[in-house]
Structure 1
Amino acid sequence: MYATTTPARVLVVGPTATPDDVDNLRGYALDVADQIGVSATYALHNEYRVTDFEAVYVLCASTELHDTVGLVLMAEALAAGMPVHEPQSPREAAQCVCGQSQTVRTVIGEDGSVWCAECRDEVAGCAHCAELPDMEEMALVDRDSTWIPVHAGCLATAVATIPGAEFVTA
C-alpha cells in the first residue's frame, strides 16, 4: 500500500559543538528512533562508515549545518548515493490515526490519513529477541550513542539477570 520502506539502522547527524547541540542531536535521534521505528545512532564523531547505515537523517537543513562532523558524514552519504533526509517543516507535522505525533517524516495514505511506522508495519523488531512490537510496547535504550528498540519485558529481564547493568531509557 505504501512505497516507503523503513531501514533497520540509521545515522543522525547535526551540530555537536556545544553540550546543548549534543543534547538536541540526542533528542532528535530519539524522535527518529521512535517515529521511524529503527535503531538511530547520533553521530558524535566522523569515524562512522556511513555505508553501515541505511539512511542519514539531518537535524537541521543542510545549508545550516556548519559542524565538521555532520558535514563530513552527510557528504560521505551523498557520495555513496545513500538517502539523506533533511527535517520536515513544522507545517508538515501531523498526527497518526493511532495518536502518535509525526514530526520527523509524515506519511499520508491514499485516503489522506496520516500513518506512523508502526501502523504501516514498518518497524524494526526488538534488538534482544527480534520479535515485532505486536503485543508488547517497545522501549528505547540509549547504548553507545544509539537509541535501540527493545521490548519492555526483554529490558526488564536483562536488567534482572545482568547484575550491575545500566540502561538509560527515554
Structure 2
Amino acid sequence: MYAQPTHTFITIPGADIVSGDVLKRLPGVPVVGADPVDPEFPHSRTLHMADGSLYFIDPAQGYVVAREMNEPFRAAPLHANTLLVTGPCSTPTEVADLTAHAFDVTDQLGVNTIVATSTSHLVSDYAGVVVSGPSLTAGAKGRQMDIVAAVLEGEAIAHRVPVIVPQAVTEAAPCDACGQRQTIATVRSHYEEVFCADCRGDAPGCSWCLEDDETEPVYTGTGFAPMCAPCANVEKARQPSAWNLTALERATAPDAV
C-alpha cells in the first residue's frame, strides 16, 4: 500500500520552498513556481503564487508552510519563531557585542532571539542560527572563529537548520518605506526595492499577545523578544536591564543592570 499524503505544517528556509507549498501567512494560495536564488541577490527569491501574484522571500529565513508529506521530514523546531545568535563570546565586551547583534536581529527581522554563549543549546530546537563575526559558511576572512560559534554553526549545518551569516557591508540599505537600515539580511526585489520585515508584512507581531502591532526589542534575560508597547512595559518592569533603557535613560542611569 502507498502512504496516503497528508498536509503538515513545517518550518523550512525560504530556499527550500517548492511548488505546492502553502505559506501559513498566505492560506489558500499555493506556490506554483519559485525562481532560483540569484547569486547577485542572495537574500531575495521570488515565488509565483496560484493567484498570479509574486511574493518575495529571504532564502535564509525560516518560513512556516503546509506541505503534502508522504516521507520523513525534519520536525518543526521547538522554538519556531526564535533564532539562536552566536559569535565571539569569550570576554564581557564580546558578549555585549553579541547581545547588541541579537537586538538588531529582533529589531530588523521581528523574531525572538537567544544569545548563545555556550554550546549547551540544541540547535534543532530553533528556527535558525545567526552567526556574528567569522563563519564556517561565509569564511573566517583571516580571523579566528570562536569555538562556541564554530560548534553551533557546525551542528546547524549537520541538522539542516538555516544559518544566517554576516552579510557584506555593501548590502546594507535603508527600507524604502520606513527608512529602517537593514544590516542583518537585506531583502531586495528584482526592482532593487528594499523593504524591512514590517513593511513586507512578514513580521509576526508581538511575541506575547500576538497582536499585529508595531513592536520593539525587549530584553528578556537571555535574549530579545518583539513586543508591543503594553507588553513591553510589563516585561521591562519585570526584567530591569540597561538593554531595556533608551539612550537618554542610559545616559542618566549608567549603572543600570
Same fold (TM over 0.5): yes
* Other-structure match for 1:32: 105
Counting matched residue pairs gives 163
Q: 5 Å matches for 1:1-170?
A: 1-4=55-58, 6=62, 8-62=81-135, 63=140, 64=143, 66-97=145-176, 98-133=178-213, 137-156=214-233, 158=234, 165-168=238-241, 169=244
Letter in 2 for 1:131: E
Higher relative contact order by CA 8 Å / sep ≥ 6: 1 or 2? 1
Match of 2:68 in 1: none
Return the TM-score normalized by structure 1. Answer: 0.87
Q: Contact 1:6–1:38 (CA<8 Å) still a contact in 2?
A: no
Report SS of the residue matched to 2:238.
coil
Q: CA deviation at 1:6?
A: 4.9
User: CA offset at residue 91 of structure 1?
Assistant: 0.6
Q: State the AA in 1 paired with 2:224.
A: W
Q: Which has the higher helix share?
A: 1
What value does the CA root-mean-square deviation take over the aligned residues? 1.9
| Structure 1 spans left out of the alignment, 5+ residues | none
TM-score by length of 2: 0.59
Query: Deviations along 1:65-109, whole A, 9 cap, x unmatched?
Result: 522211111111010011111101111110101100001111112
Q: How much does 1:144 deviate?
A: 2.7
How far, CA to CA, are the matches of 1:41 and 1:20 in structure 2? 17
- Sequence identity percentage: 35
SS in 2 for 1:35: helix
Gaps of 5+ in 2: 1-54, 64-80, 246-257
Rounded Cα–Cα distance in structure 2 between residues aligned with 1:110 and 1:66: 34
In the TM superposition, what is the alpha-carbon distance from 1:43 to its structure 2 partner?
0.4
Gap change, CA 1:6 and 1:118, over 3 Å in 2: farther
- Structure 1 residue 159: Cα displacement: 5.8
